[in-house]
Amino acid sequence: MAITHFPNRGSFVPLTALGKRAAGGDVADLDAGLDIDAALAAFEAEERARLGLPADDTVAHYVEPLFDDPTTADKAHTTILVSGLTLAQDHLVAGALKGLGYKVDALPCPDETALRYGKEFGSRGQCNPTWFTVGNLVKHLVELRDRHGMATAEIIDKYVFLTSGSCGPCRFGMYVTEYRKALRDAGFEGFRVMLFQMNGGIKQASGDDEGEAKGLVFDPKFFWSIAKALFIGDVLNVIGYRLRPFEVEDGATDRALEAAKGLIYDALHQRTNLLVAMVKARRVMAAVKLDRLRVKPKVSLLGEFWAMTTEGDGSYKMQSFLESEGAEVDVQTVTQWIKYMVWEAHRDTLHRETLREDDAARKGLAGKNPWKKRLMLRGADLALRGLFQGLGNTLGLHGYRLPDIQELADISIDFYNHDVRGGEAFLEVGKLISNVARAKVNMTISIKPFGCMPSSGVSDGVQSAITELYPEGIFLPVETTGDGAVNVYSRVQMMLFKARQAAHRELEQVLDAYQMSEDEVQRLAARLPLVNRATFKAPHRWASTAADTAELIGAIRHPVKGLKRFIEHARHKPVFKTPKHQRPVMATA
C-alpha cells in the first residue's frame, strides 16, 4: 500500500485514506480514479480546520524592514564597497564600476581580525566564511568611525556594500540578513547591502524599484563591465598560479601580475581600449623567466566556493602555503561556477517539460517556449566558453580548458544525485574522478568550512567510495575554522609528501621511455626556449608540469618514439569507474 508522511500528524497516512476523504466514500482500487491532488487538498483543508489556521494562506509572514536604495542624487557622494571574490577580481570590479561613474573601494582580503569582528557581531553557529566576510565589512566601517573620525550617520549615508551571493542551503540562504544583523549590533543600523547573485542577477537587499531613479543602474552595460572584470580576473589568477612555482627570480610573477592588473584596471576605469591593455599585459607576463623542469606536484583545490577562492586567513592561505611547500596549485574559476548555473537551468528546463502542465513559478515554463529557452541556455554556455578562451588566449593563457559540466555530471551520476543542490554539488565528485582518471593533478584537496553541509556532509562521504575505486588518487579533505592552522598544515604536508613522490615517478618514467638523463633534458631545454616561455604550455600527458615538459623535449629529441607515444596516448581512453567496479570485500575468520 502506498503511504505518505505528514509532519503535522507525525505519523504515516495511507494514500487510500486520503482518497476516501477526497471522494467522500470508499475507494476500492488505489490506481483507479484516485485524484492525488484532490486528496492532498482535502487533507490540507481538514488539517487547517483542526489546527485553527485560516482556509487560505493569508498569514502575514515576517518581512525584514528595508532601507532606501542609493538614488541618482546620492551617486556623487556614495562609495560602493566591493568584496567577496579573489583579490584580482575585487580590484578589477572596482575599476569597472569606476568606469561607469561610481565611486568604489575594494575591501582587503578578510583576515583574523575580521574573523574576530564576525564572531562578536555575527550569529552563533554560522560557518566561518560568514564570520570572515561579515566581519571584514564591520571591521572596515569601525575603522572609518574610530580611526578616521567619521560619524556613524555619515558612514551610513556615504557607503553601500556590494558583494557576491549564491544559492546554498546554509549561510547563503540568509546572507543579507546576517550582514544586517551584524551591522545593526555593531551600531550601523540602516547600512545598505546589495548582493550580486550568481544565480539570479542583481538582488537588491535594501528596497524595491519604485520611486526616485536609482543611483545603481543594473543595465546591460553594468553587467558587461562586471563580466569582463570577473573573466579577466579568472584568467590572471590561473596564469599566476601556473607561472609562480617555476619562476627563476623570486617575486617576478607577482610583480608582473601587479603590472598587468594595473594596465587592465586603468583600461576599465578610463574606458579605453581593453584589447590593447590586455596585449600589453600579455607582454609583461611573457617576460617572466621560468624553469619548468623543476619537479613540482600539481595540487587541485576544490571545495566550498568561498573557502577555495579566498586567498587569506579564511582558507589558511592554502594557495601560498602549498606553493611554499613546493607545489603547483590548480585553482578553480568563477567562470566555471557560472557555467554550472547555466547547466542547472538547462537541466531544470528539460525536467519541467515532463510535468503534466506548465507551472507559473519563477523558473516555470508557463507562457514560455521551452525549446527557445534551452536554445538560449546552450548559446549562453557557448558564449561563456568562447569569451573566456578569447580573453585567455589574448592574455597568454594557452592549453587551458574550462571543465565540461555535462561530462562531470555523467561521470558522477552513479555516486551523487544531481537533484541534491547546494555548494559545489556533484562538481566536487566529478572533478575528483576526472583528476585521477585523466591524470590532471597529483593530489586533490577539498577545503570547506567546518560543518559545511553540502561539502562535509555529502561530498566527502561520497569521496570515500571514489578513493576506494581509485586507490592511486591522493585526496585530502580539509575543514577550516579560522584557527588551528598548524594542524591543517601538518596534514597537508603528509599527503603532499606522497604527491611529491608521484611527481618524481612521472618524470622518471618519461626519462626511462626516451633513455635520457635529467642533465640531457636540461641541456636540450636550454636550446629550446619555447618550453620555458611564460605563454607556452606543453601538451597534457602527465599530472605534473615537469613530466609534460620532459615528454615534449623527449619527443623533439626522438621524434619517431615521440610519435608512437603520442598515438598511444590519443588511443587511450580514460576509464571512469562506477560502483559496479567496486572490489568485493573478503570475509575474515
Alpha-carbon gap, residue 53 to 57, rounded angstroms:
9
| 475 three-class SS | strand
Question: Would you kindly state where each structural domain of the chain is located, as residue ranges?
Answer: 3-51, 63-246+249-288, 298-498
Q: What pLDDT, on the 0 to 100 scale, is given for residue 257?
A: 97
Alpha-carbon gap, residue 88 to 256, rounded angstroms:
13
Q: Quick check: 318 and 178 in contact, CB under 8 A? A: no
Q: Quick check: 130 and 171 in contact, CB under 8 A? A: yes
pLDDT exceeds 50 at position 515: yes
> Burial of 178 by CB count in 10 Å (0-12 exposed, 13-18 middle, 19+ buried)?
buried
| DSSP-assigned beta bridge partners for residue 302 | 446
Alpha-carbon gap, residue 102 to 215, rounded angstroms:
9
**Residue 447 CB: number of other CB atoms within 10 A?**
24
CA angle 87, 89, 91 (to 5 degrees): 70
Confidence of residue 209 (pLDDT cuts 50, 70, 90): very low
Q: What pLDDT, on the 0 to 100 scale, is given for residue 452?
A: 75
pLDDT digits (tens, 9 = 90+) for 505-514: 999 999 999 9
The average confidence (pLDDT) of the chain is: 84
Which of residues 33 and 168 earns the better pLDDT score? 33
Q: Do the bridges between strand 3-6 and strand 11-14 make them parallel or antiparallel, or are there none, so unpaired? A: antiparallel
pLDDT digits (tens, 9 = 90+) for 357-410: 777 777 777 778 888 888 999 999 999 999 999 999 999 999 999 999 999 999
Q: What is the DSSP letter of 170?
A: S
Percent of the chain beyond pLDDT 90? 55
Least confident of 163-167, 200-204, 290-294: 200-204
Q: Quick check: 20 and 13 in contact, CB under 8 A? A: no
Residues ≥6 apart with Cβ < 8 Å to 135: 110, 113, 114, 115, 116, 117, 118, 119, 120, 121, 122, 182
Long-range contacts of 11-17 (CB under 8 A, 24+ apart): 13/43, 15/39
pTM for the full predicted model: 0.84
Residues ≥6 apart with Cβ < 8 Å to 140: 81, 107
pLDDT exceeds 70 at position 198: no
Q: What pLDDT, on the 0 to 100 scale, is given for residue 205?
A: 41
Question: Is the CA virtual torsion 434, 437, 443, 445 positive or negative?
Answer: positive
Q: Quick check: 127 and 450 in contact, CB under 8 A? A: yes
Strands across the sheet containing 328-330: 328-330, 298-303, 443-449, 475-480
Alpha helix positions (H), 455-484: 460-469
Type of residue at 33 = G
Which of residues 163 and 99 earns the better pLDDT score? 99
**Strand segments (E) across 346-394:** none
| DSSP-assigned beta bridge partners for residue 298 | 328
- The torsion of the CA quartet 138, 142, 145, 147, rounded to 10 degrees, works out to -140
Q: What is the DSSP letter of 457?
A: I
Tell me the HSE value of 310 on the side-chain side, using a 13 A CA sphere. Answer: 29
Strands across the sheet containing 201-204: 103-106, 79-83, 159-165, 192-197, 201-204
Type of residue at 280 = K
What backbone phi and psi angles, to 5 degrees, belong to 562?
-65, -40
Q: What pLDDT, on the 0 to 100 scale, is given for residue 295?
A: 96
544: left (phi over 0), alpha (psi -120 to 50) or beta: beta
Q: Which grid cell sits at 537?
A: 604550455
Q: Do the bridges between strand 159-165 and strand 192-197 make them parallel or antiparallel, or are there none, so unpaired? A: parallel
Query: Distance between the two ends of the chain, CA-based, in angstroms?
Result: 42
Alpha-carbon gap, residue 374 to 230, rounded angstroms:
25
- For the residues 230-241, what does the mean pLDDT come to? 96
> Which contiguous run of DSSP H or E holds residue 236?
helix 220-243
**Strand segments (E) across 334-427:** none
